[in-house]
Chains A and B, each alone.
Chain A
Amino acid sequence: MGEVEKVFISGLREKLIEDKVITEQDLVPEFASEIIRYGGKDVMTCLQCGNCTGVCPISLKIEYKTRTTIKYCQFGMKSHTLSTRWVCATCYRCYEHCPADLNPAELMIALRHIAVREGIVPPFVKTAASNLLRYGLTVKPDEAMLKEREQLGLPQAAITKPGWERVKKDINTIIETTKYDRLLGITNKEEGE
């Protein structure tokens, strides 16, 4: 037995013992109905033809596949699906081509809704949201950028314009009323960073 282990299993022992089977503990059975509640109504209708993956500009470049995401959702593998759904550009090409007339892009948006409510927010989203709250813009123009604009003869960036404070205040009101800041866990305090 010792010899067999040495030759065939050797260092793999730990890996082999680890279970590769997806069990019921890994699944969330109500996941599909949750997605449907958030607007991804087509999730169970998909018959996995793969047309959406074929036309997806993101699937071409990275290991994200539109079709497999839908399959994971149908299966109820919630933890697997919530982390990476922000790569979808919502270009709606999948919707344009789907022979079953489903809308995978809406499904991706539903997944984002769920992820945010579970507290899974990627840093870049947080940054953009905080910028919106603080400066009224998702991308804050920094010193270097402002300087460059000036050199190129471009008009002032919005945040330096007079009257922008009012726009910011309006945006802030909307964000506070909708509780968007609390949902994403962001504040308009700079020191929070």
Chain B
Amino acid sequence: MEASPETKQPEKEVIGVFVCHCGTNIGGVVNCEKVAEIASQIPGVVVSKDLKYACSDLGQEEIRKAIKEKGLNRVVVASCSPRLHEYTFKNCVEGAGLNPYFMHMVNLREQCSWVHMKEPELATGKAANLVKMGIERSRLSTALSPREVTVEPSCLIIGGGIAGIQAALDIGDKGFKTYLVEKEPSIGGHMAQLDKTFPTGDCAICILAPKMVEVARNKNVEMLSYSEVVDIQGYVGNFTVKIRKKPRYVMEEKCVGCGVCAEKCPVKVPNEFDMGFGSRKAIYVPFPQAVPLKYTIDRENCLHFKTGKCQLCVKACVNEAIDHKQEPEEIELKVGTVIVATGFDVYTPTRKGVYRYWEYKNVITALELERLINAAGPTGGHLVRPSDGVEPQRIAFIQCVGSRNLKIANKYCSRVCCMYAMKNSQIIMEHSPDAEIAIYYNDIRAFGKGFEELYHRVREDYGIEFIRGRPAKLTKDPVTENITIRAEETLLAKITEREFDLVVLSVGLIPNPGTAPVQKMLSLPVSDDGFLAESHPKLRPVETAIEGVFICGCAQGPKDIPDSVAQAKAAASAASTLMIKGKHIVEPLYANVNEELCVGCGLCAELCPYHAIEIAEKDGQSKAVVTEALCHGCGTCAAGCPQHAINQLQFTDQQLMNELTAALAAKNSAGGE
């Protein structure tokens, strides 16, 4: 082995190297004994061992013993990804009295053995080089101490659907101040629009309304309906939130929700809550169970705003609650934690598709059907078809519309469509037992509790027909407006054509348009599918990459009501954990500005994705100032600084150069071999 690259203070570092087999994960490919042997010859290395499982109690004990016996002041653990066990090993060395930031991890599993499974010799060489690089880098490690920030005991919940409501109830009940922000005039979200819920058939609004009322009554929950979050600044424990309360033109404290104003209002417009089938007035509540039960004037359609004349509602209101001059109001809040529960929207079939949703009146979406079969809906629960108002007898459901389709870039399964199609066909059959229902599906996904039973029930009790095939063509009879579906019944390998009175498209779920602005304000990562990304798909399901910010419900991905509620409770619990402790430890891996070199050009402030850098005056000169709690240690500023004035702690320029020099030295020697 050649001499390692120049080392600044070889006499000072006492290095221990531990190469982990990870069972056969690493040891099955990489010759760990050889790697440890190579490392042992590097100056400064006094212990170099291979361990079966470094993370096990035995392995950790081995590391602690070496630190104590040999007086190690640097520990290099060559094992898995730091994401998995960095914390374990930091704890381990701290237990032996060493500052945890003197522990450096080298990834031999994800970045070596798993990707080079078929080339064990080359993998061993690479592993040795990676370890050398790690050793050289660890020489310049410095002792760091984590910092503590206080956590404001209050929580902001964005989105008043079932997930947001549940999270607000849980946190409010724990005694923390909670702000529930909803952009619509009423909380309730999409669940309020549904008729019944699968698989049990509970009426959606009947189980939701009590929760809506409860959250309104909860002393700790402050409901901010018809409001939007416009700005969020700050960091875990200390967020400053700006909320814009849109004008209802009705004073909330005076309105009692009697509805006399709406009776008098002369303007009738389609009700968005009923998917445009029913109508509402220009002064309205979206649905009778709305919370808060306060009327709202829809500015676009109100005659007063259009002509300046009509004052009928003002005259009708005995409480003098109506004020056409109301202005938007801005509220500023300080909160310690944030829960994003911005939910979903349903996919709107495009003109590109073959289902002709835009053209054929008798092709409707599932959410429209929900309103048409809802007892509180525009038809009082009596299903009629849009073209002629006649009760349809032959009904087809088409599954996977806007889901599992690469042509429209929605690759994912929306997880609820199979079940709601079955649930809705059951409701239709209960109302009109003579109806004939066919479900065109690709695969049936009935994975949840009680789902398979519902799948069985709709076939056994109602004779719902399942046709396995994706419809290829829909045609409309010009006279009757009936729809003919052509599809291959793939299980028969025959092309079939059948006529239906009504076709329901089981549309998938997409991220709510309200999510994007919130995502930008908080710099939240987004998954491939466009929904918000959780910190870890299995083990940190409601946490995000931004500390103190949690996600739940359909904002994170399509899911049904039980899953949304469970996730809301998880997010509430995670947020409460922070608030109960009242303080939070922040990793000290932030950017450090060398003020002598900094010229205050401001490039770093522009580059920072977390708004953590500001340019401030110091002794008459502009200098970059890092808000450490906001800094995520991504290193963008350090790489961008033209003056090399910013150092990323644990990733300093010198450390990276050391690592690089070791890599290049290794490459040169490898070339000779």
Contact = CB atoms under 8 A, between A and B. Distances in A.
A49 B490 contact: yes
Interface in B446-490: 468-473, 486-490
B472 A51 contact: yes
A97 B472 contact: yes
A55 interface: yes
Interface in B391-412: 400, 404-407
Interface string A63-78: 0010110000000000
A99 B404 CA distance: 7
A54 B486 contact: yes
Given A47-B442, A99-B400, A53 B407 contact: no
Contacts of A65: 488, 493
Interface in B477-533: 486-490, 493, 495
B230 interface: no
Contacts of B488: 50-51, 53-54, 59, 65, 67
A192 B421 CA distance: 64
B406 A100 contact: yes
B11 interface: no
A99 B486 contact: no
B354 interface: yes
B353 to A, nearest CB: 10
A153 to B, nearest CB: 43
Contacts of B354: 97
Interface string A86-103: 000000000001111100
Interface in B40-95: none
Contacts, number: 59
A49 B470 contact: yes
B443 interface: yes
A173 interface: no
Contacts of A50: 468-470, 472, 487-490
Interface in A9-64: 47-51, 53-55, 59-60
Given A49-B490, A99-B400, A54 B443 contact: no
A51 B470 contact: yes
Nearest to B354: A97
A77 to B, nearest CB: 14
Interface string B354-395: 100000000000000000000000000000000000000000
Sorting the interface of chain B by its residue count into under 10, 10 to 19, 20 to 34 or 35 or more gives: 20 to 34
A60 B472 CA distance: 12
Contacts of A55: 472-473
A98 B442 contact: no
Contacts of A98: 407
A65 B469 CA distance: 13
Contacts of A100: 404, 406
A135 B210 CA distance: 85
B3 to A, nearest CB: 49
Nearest to B471: A54
B100 to A, nearest CB: 47
A67 B443 CA distance: 15
Contacts of B486: 54
A100 B403 CA distance: 11
A47 B443 contact: yes
Given A65-B488, A65-B493, A49 B469 contact: yes
Nearest to B406: A101
A45 B137 CA distance: 45
A97 B407 CA distance: 8
Interface of B: 354, 400, 404-407, 442-443, 468-473, 486-490, 493, 495
30 contacts: A47-B443, A48-B490, A49-B470, A49-B490, A50-B468, A50-B472, A50-B488, A50-B489, A51-B488, A53-B472, A53-B493, A54-B469, A54-B470, A54-B472, A54-B473, A54-B486, A54-B487, A54-B488, A54-B495, A55-B473, A59-B488, A59-B495, A67-B493, A97-B354, A97-B472, A99-B400, A99-B405, A99-B470, A100-B406, A101-B407
Given A50-B469, A53-B495, A67-B488, 11 more contacts: A50-B472, A50-B490, A51-B470, A54-B472, A54-B487, A59-B495, A65-B488, A67-B490, A68-B493, A99-B404, A99-B470
